[in-house]
Structure 1
Amino acid sequence: MDRLLAPLLSPLLIAQALRLRARALRLPEPPGPRRGTGGNGPTLRLLILGDSSAAGVGAEHQDEALSGQIAAALAPHRQLDWRLEARTGATSRSTLARLETLPHQRYDAVLLVLGVNDVTSFAPLHRILADRDRIARTVAERFMAPRLIITGIPPLGQFPLLPDPLRWILGHRATRLERMLAEQAESAGHPYLPFTMPMQQDLMAEDGFHPSALAYMHWATALLPHLLDHCPTKSEPS
């Protein structure tokens, strides 16, 4: 239904998007390191790729953002060597272009945090799927990473910041893309982790769009078993 209504409503949707962009609070990417090492145990080399949520928008510092929370959660279990490559506004297409400029380096796992800007840009879904396929192949070839962990798309249809009918259109589009990406990931053997956090106030940043520091903590905790599952170790108690 949204595919039929979007072209008919395009003048209104464009007007709503422009008005929202002009009025919305724009939070910066937080300061702090975007790579580091630390922790105890076997080494885990992790590359985090993505958009503003991967970059930590909504947190005051990278220590409180997704990368910092992951590093803290993994510290008792792994010697983590991590790198963050994320930018506000990133799409699957722009992330693919950026990947191809990064130096060849071995990672044990790559975490992909993308999707919102793919939805809001109204890029053709078949093109997004093709870009995701190329990202997966580039990760395997360029970084020799045996594990690509893909996070799901937040429920844009529940974001209070978005006005209707823009919220309704984006929500349905996000749901459709989410289903297609999950099927693609399952077919390729990549873990796909749906976004399950509720859209409650303490989990949202002050802009009403990005996660809060508390949400990043919960997110990192949810990711922990999937990162640890990659690298079982004899040194940990069974």
Structure 2
Amino acid sequence: MFLKISTILLIPSLIIQGNAVKKKTLRLAEPEGNRQGMIGSGSPLSILILGDSAAAGVGVEIQEDALLGAVLNQLKDQYEITYMLEAKTGHSTGQVFKTAKSMSAQHFDVVITSVGVNDITKLTSPKNWIKKQQQLYTEINQKFTPALIIASGVPPMNMFPALPNPLAWLFGQYAKGMNQNLSKFILQQANMQWIEYDLEHFKVLDLAMATDGFHPSKEIYALWGKQVADKIRQMF
């Protein structure tokens, strides 16, 4: 109720600040590079990455510096990896669900997801968001039969340099509610784990975000990829 009331009260500011952010924020392209292939040597491992612009690697110029490249770089000396990246800038949970639904049924040992920011910009309530998330992960389990799903938490948008207050504060409240619901949901799933997007920790390490103030940088992708790889090693 608090979030709903806050949203209603802040609508005039949201419209003004939202339009200003759209005009001022740099529009970065998705990085170049292979989104499907095979790399490495060792035990066979298949990986699918699904999601939004962060999953796609926006913020860097080549896939080797993005989430996909960071994960592959961490694991390629231990596993022969078959990989696929299906992610697009602007995609919300509903759109990622449609992407998964349109793909051919095939097995992946690991599915990695990153989605939520665009649900927040659409002012999707945490309650409705987790329902969409549940639909997404049901589809992922049925379509790809993964042994492990790694869900990336929604970033704390209140800490995004590109966002002014009160817009940043409100988006941060949405992210907090979504992550609370996601954490509870994942605890009930046998094959799921999640990674919290700890932007405060990144700042302590003096790691800046990408030039648009909205997406991860190469250094942040590297740490994110290491977190993902550590969870994969624990399972396989």
1:73 aligns with 2:74: yes
1:203 aligns with 2:208: yes
In structure 2, the residue corresponding to 1:203 is in which secondary structure? Answer: coil
Contact 2:39 2:81 in 1 (8 A): yes
**Counterpart position of 1:164:** 165
Identity of aligned residues (%): 31
Q: What's the offset of the Cα at 1:2? A: 3.4
Contact 2:151 2:194 in 1 (8 A): yes
Task: Show CA shifts across 1:137-192 (max 9, x none).
Answer: 11111111121111111111111211111011111111111101111111123211
Task: Show CA shifts across 1:89-143 (max 9, x none).
Answer: 1111110011110011111110011111111211233322121111111111111
In structure 1, the residue corresponding to 2:188 is in which secondary structure? Answer: helix
**Counterpart position of 2:15:** 14
1:214 pairs with one of 219, 224, 232: 219
**Counterpart position of 1:127:** 128
1:45 aligns with 2:46: yes
Matched letter for residue 196 of structure 1: D
**Counterpart position of 1:228:** 233
2: distance between equivalents of 1:196 and 1:127? Answer: 24
**Counterpart position of 2:195:** 193
1:76-87 alignment runs, 5 A limit: 76-87=77-88
2: distance between equivalents of 1:186 and 1:158? Answer: 26
Q: What's the offset of the Cα at 1:78? A: 0.7
In structure 2, the residue corresponding to 1:47 is in which secondary structure? Answer: strand
Structure 1 length-normalised TM:
0.93
Q: What's the offset of the Cα at 1:88? A: 0.5
Unaligned ranges ≥5, structure 1: 232-238
2: distance between equivalents of 1:43 and 1:59? Answer: 28
2: distance between equivalents of 1:202 and 1:188? Answer: 33
State which drifts further: 94-103 or 185-194.
Answer: 185-194
Contact 1:58 1:206 in 2 (8 A): yes
Matched letter for residue 234 of structure 2: D
In structure 1, the residue corresponding to 2:102 is in which secondary structure? Answer: coil
Matched letter for residue 211 of structure 1: P
Q: 1:5 to 1:124 in 2, by over 3 A?
A: closer
Contact 2:150 2:228 in 1 (8 A): no
2: distance between equivalents of 1:83 and 1:104? Answer: 13
Q: What's the offset of the Cα at 1:199? A: 5.0
2: distance between equivalents of 1:141 and 1:49? Answer: 15
Q: What's the offset of the Cα at 1:203? A: 3.2
Q: What RMSD, in angstroms, separates the aligned Cα atoms of the two structures?
A: 1.3
State which drifts further: 8-17 or 197-206.
Answer: 197-206
After TM superposition, where is structure 1 displaced by more than 6 Å over at least 4 residues in a row?
Answer: none
Task: Show CA shifts across 1:176-235 (max 9, x none).
Answer: 11101111111123211111243536431111111111111111111111112221xxxx
Q: What's the offset of the Cα at 1:3? A: 2.6
Q: What's the offset of the Cα at 1:61? A: 0.4
